[in-house]
Amino acid sequence: MMRHADPRFAGHAVTRATKSVTRARTNVTRARILLARLHVMTDLVRVAAVGDIHCTRTSEGAFQPLFAQMAESADVIALCGDLVDYGLPEEAHVLVKELATVNKTHVPVIAVLGNHDFEGGQPEVVKQILCDGGITVLDGEAVEVHGVGFAGVKGFCGGFGRRSLEPWGEPAIKTFVREAIDEALKLESALAKLRTRQRLALMHYAPIQATVEGEPVEIFPFLGTSRLEEPINRYEVSAVVHGHAHRGSPEGRTTANVPVYNVSMPLLKNRFPERPPFRILELRRPAVERVNGSGAHGDPMTDRVEATASA
């Protein structure tokens, strides 16, 4: 004879299972709160930096995993120019969609434009689309995030040291050099606005020759200018991140020993194929505040940056 289960006991079983699920969820929530408190206690701000993304109209879905990993690894994302490939508004819209996941995590994204972002003749339109998408685009401006100051410019070319192009001769040469000087002045103006102990400079073009070495020597003058180095040294910047030199060197230092990192994505992929194609900078912050970072997946390149002694 088949015996049917008493529905009362079935109801008790469901209740017990529901309570178990609730307790499990509560434990997970408590664990998350504890983890968040541990992050609050840290005195480091982690900045994930990359340049030369070259997002195209067909890049939809291509960069979402990268940006998600950057957001999980750091408290701020820094994008160092050549954000799109041909400077088209359509490409900028695709990039904004790729960054949508990051916006949901509330990790700030700070960027500068590069030469590719100007190619379509609509840099202001590209910039506005990115800004409307929640990205802070710096062009001679400064911003403070988590107690760290960020100053950003596109930069320009012109060569390095004694081989720098001088404003002599034809008007076209003088105009070319003037562009480099203007970018250096914009960087100086942005740095002068910051009152933070830690200052990070973002740019697309290189401020020193060391991080373009590896490229053909003949094109060094078109990869950056040491005119950008002077304000970096004078304002005792904690570190510099740039892109543009796809086959350059990962890092170098200014004459005042400020660390400079070439975070061009093609370079990072080539030099460190086993690591995610971005670099993490850790900067000490002066005050305790909420920070998002939860540790990088796949061990990206990480560099601890200290403020200068006199800052």
| Residue 19 pLDDT > 90 | no
State how far the Cα of 283 lies from the Cα of 75, in Å rounded to an integer. Answer: 11
State how far the Cα of 280 lies from the Cα of 163, in Å rounded to an integer. Answer: 32
Residue type, 14: V
Output the pLDDT for position 163: 87
- What rounded mean pLDDT belongs to the chain? 87
pLDDT digit string (tens) for 110-136? 999 999 999 999 999 999 999 999 999
What string of DSSP letters covers 19-30?
HHHHHHHHHHHH
Are 131 and 125 in contact, with CB atoms under 8 Å apart?
no
Output the pLDDT for position 37: 39
| Residue 307 pLDDT > 70 | no
| Residue 80 pLDDT > 50 | yes
Average pLDDT over residues 274-302: 69
% of the chain at pLDDT higher than 70: 79
Q: pLDDT-derived band of residue 285, with 50, 70 and 90 as boundaries?
A: confident
State how far the Cα of 64 lies from the Cα of 60, in Å rounded to an integer. Answer: 8
Reported as type and span, the H/E element at residue 152 is: strand 148-152
Comparing C-alpha atoms, which of 112, 107, 47 is closest to residue 84? 112
| Residue 293 pLDDT > 60 | no
Are 220 and 159 in contact, with CB atoms under 8 Å apart?
yes
Comparing C-alpha atoms, which of 190, 96, 74, 189 is closest to residue 143? 190
Average pLDDT over residues 42-55: 94
